[in-house]
Structure 1
Amino acid sequence: MAMPDFSPTEYAVPGFVLLVLIEMLWARKMRREAYEPRDTLTSLAFGLGSTVAGLLTGGVFLALFLWAWQFRLFDIGWQWWTWPVCFVLDDLAYYWIHRFGHRVRWFWASHVNHHSSQHYNLSTALRQTWTGFLTLGFAFKLPLVLLGFHPVMIAICGGFNLIYQFWIHTEAIGRMPRWFEAVMNTPSHHRVHHATNPRYLDRNYAGVFIVWDRLFGTFEPECDDERIRYGIVRQLGTFNLLHSVFHEWIAIARDVRAAPWRHKLSYLLREPGWSHDGSRETSGMIRARWEGRRKSVAAENPIAEPREAA
């Protein structure tokens, strides 16, 4: 079978734009606060910059994968059954890339861009990083290359994965059928992922299949009686595009410069919010504090439960 030359995301862009416009019309009647003009423009600028960054660096990574492919263990080929296998394994790799994006500050400096909006709508899906190449997260997909999946096949599967994730960035859809929610990532599951509520921090990393979160202990269902607050723990407080793109890289540089030598590397590789003097809180610390307060309240009053962070 000949090697395909196809980029699914290029064909999906008109559909993305159409769906954003439809959701805007829905928001005007049903939920006006879902869209904020400056926030939406920032998200669109993020998407444009990310596309340019991808054009500048994508070829380098593809060339690296093609070089690594010569060391493959098997010749898997282009048979029809290899595509769904590659898609599932690529999604598993995405889960771990995404999880590292929240648990290692060097990765978070790039991924935080996607979470920086305090609104949750389809334009938020376009809020993609410009600096992903710095994290070298592509290394998580090298095992697929070494197994024998062609880099172009991996790239195409990754494109369809990205397309799937677009539609789950919405509040216009409540719950999907139970069987679907059990297996697939959905708007409900992904709203949890974008929330800053303590119960939701660092949960639901899935790209397409929520089964990875269920399997690896990071799943959290959406709770109907607690309003979701979107964004990041320390909100940006600005729509300045360059600050939004680079603020965490700048913060890392400041921390590394000011830290004692034995702690400098930790400011790169420990979780976001970690500090050598305990002056800040990680997501795990915030969640643990909320859990402790919840258990305390439950012991005093089994019906009540805290719903907001302290």
Structure 2
Amino acid sequence: MSFDTVRSSMGPELAPWLAGLLFFVLAAATLEGLVQSFVRRRSYDWRAYGASLADAVGRRAVDAAGLSIAAPVLAWAHAHRVDTIALSTPAAFALLFVGQEFCYYWYHRAAHRVRWFWATHAVHHSPNELTLAAALRLGWTGKLTGTALFFAPLVWLGFPPLAVLAALAANLLYQFWLHAPWMPRLGPLEWIFNTPTHHKVHHASNPEYLDRNYGGVLIVFDRLFGTFVQERADVPIRYGLTTPLRTHNPLRIAFHEWGRLGRDLWRAKGWGARISILLGPPGVSS
């Protein structure tokens, strides 16, 4: 069974649920903007809201083409799995959850520290204010860069591909509400779970906060691997990229970092320098 077959099999049964979730997400993001603008009388960047929606629409159009460099690897991992793990017990579901969180942590960390992946992920960090709509801005080139490869070990170990996809989708859905910086702290839950308090630090471009709090649902791997940072009262958060992107053009938002990467690769002297740029962290230009 190919990974494309697994992916296409999700459609008929899940389509109504996915449509309902999409409606809920869009309604919540719109309601937030309306409340901020007309109830709380605070500024809200509706042009950024529109750009985020355009990014989401463009991503769906690109995904419809079915291009993915990770799909063959995932199919191979499924065909050569070391075991078949039946999701028939709470322990199996718990193992899938923790395994997916572990893989997501390392994917997200690589998305910030490896420029090849950052070229896509920079789109998500491009809004200069943090809103629920910003959660929709994920870029168009994720499948073309192989981000799903980070989850191939779960398929190779024996988890059903559909279950891995569903776990990742649930992870991303959970993260939607993390983009509401107006949410209060959640007390003891802050020690275990990723919360809006932790995630707004992740979206900060201040040097004190940069490249921290990578977790999806959990924050425990950040605490274990030394990437957790708490918000500081003496350092107000500044959202966006370290060099702010002042555009609402969906095409520029989607490809601005790819353009920068391409220019740096063109100007680099030798293949060693080019590899260092491609696999090194953002900011390496020669």
Which residue identity is paired with 2:250?
Answer: L
Query: Cα–Cα, structure 1 residues 263 and 64, in superposed 2: closer, same or farther, change >3 Å?
Result: closer
Q: Is 1:26–2:35 an aligned residue pair? A: yes
Distance 2:70 2:41 in 1: 41
Query: Cα–Cα, structure 1 residues 206 and 236, in superposed 2: closer, same or farther, change >3 Å?
Result: same
Matching residue within 263, 275, 285 for 2:285? 275
Which residue identity is paired with 2:183?
Answer: I
Matching residue within 114, 118, 121 for 2:124? 114
Q: Which residue of 1 is the match for residue 182 of structure 2? A: 172
Shift of 1:91: 1.5
Shift of 1:59: 7.7
Distance 2:41 2:193 in 1: 26
**SS across alignment from 1:173:** coil
Q: Is 1:68–2:74 an aligned residue pair? A: no
Shift of 1:55: 3.3
Q: Which moved more, 1:107-116 or 1:126-135?
A: 126-135
Q: Is 1:48–2:54 an aligned residue pair? A: no
Which residue identity is paired with 1:217?
Answer: G
1:148-297 aligned within 5 A: 148-177=158-187, 179-261=188-270, 262-276=272-286
Is the 1:9–1:159 contact (alpha carbons within 8 Å) kept by the matching residues of 2? no
**SS across alignment from 1:113:** coil
**SS across alignment from 1:32:** coil
Distance 2:67 2:178 in 1: 25
| Structure 2, unpaired ranges of 5+ | 1-8
Distance 1:240 1:266 in 2: 30
Shift of 1:191: 0.2
Distance 1:42 1:138 in 2: 25
Q: Is 1:85–2:98 an aligned residue pair? A: no
**SS across alignment from 2:122:** helix
Distance 2:120 2:68 in 1: 19
Distance 1:147 1:11 in 2: 32
Distance 1:208 1:9 in 2: 20
Which protein has the larger Cα radius of gyration, Structure 1 or Structure 2?
1
| Structure 1, unpaired ranges of 5+ | 277-310
Shift of 1:20: 1.4
Across the aligned residues of Structure 1 and Structure 2, the Cα RMSD in angstroms comes to: 2.0
Matching residue within 127, 136, 150 for 1:140? 150
Distance 1:251 1:232 in 2: 14
Distance 2:64 2:40 in 1: 38
Deviations along 1:257-302, whole A, 9 cap, x unmatched?
11111412111111100133xxxxxxxxxxxxxxxxxxxxxxxxxx
TM-score by length of 2: 0.89
Which residue identity is paired with 1:45?
Answer: A
Is the 1:83–1:153 contact (alpha carbons within 8 Å) kept by the matching residues of 2? no
Q: Is 1:103–2:110 an aligned residue pair? A: no
Shift of 1:58: 7.0
Q: Which residue of 2 is the match for residue 16 of structure 1? A: 25
Is the 2:69–2:145 contact (alpha carbons within 8 Å) kept by the matching residues of 1? no
Distance 1:84 1:105 in 2: 32
Query: Cα–Cα, structure 1 residues 60 and 136, in superposed 2: closer, same or farther, change >3 Å?
Result: closer
Query: Cα–Cα, structure 1 residues 214 and 58, in superposed 2: closer, same or farther, change >3 Å?
Result: farther
Shift of 1:6: 3.5
Matching residue within 139, 146, 162 for 1:129? 139
Is the 1:6–1:156 contact (alpha carbons within 8 Å) kept by the matching residues of 2? no
TM-score by length of 1: 0.82
Shift of 1:112: 0.3
Is the 1:102–1:272 contact (alpha carbons within 8 Å) kept by the matching residues of 2? yes
Is the 2:107–2:150 contact (alpha carbons within 8 Å) kept by the matching residues of 1? yes
Which residue identity is paired with 2:36?
Answer: A
Which residue identity is paired with 1:15?
Answer: F
Percent of aligned pairs with the same residue?
40
Distance 2:186 2:60 in 1: 31
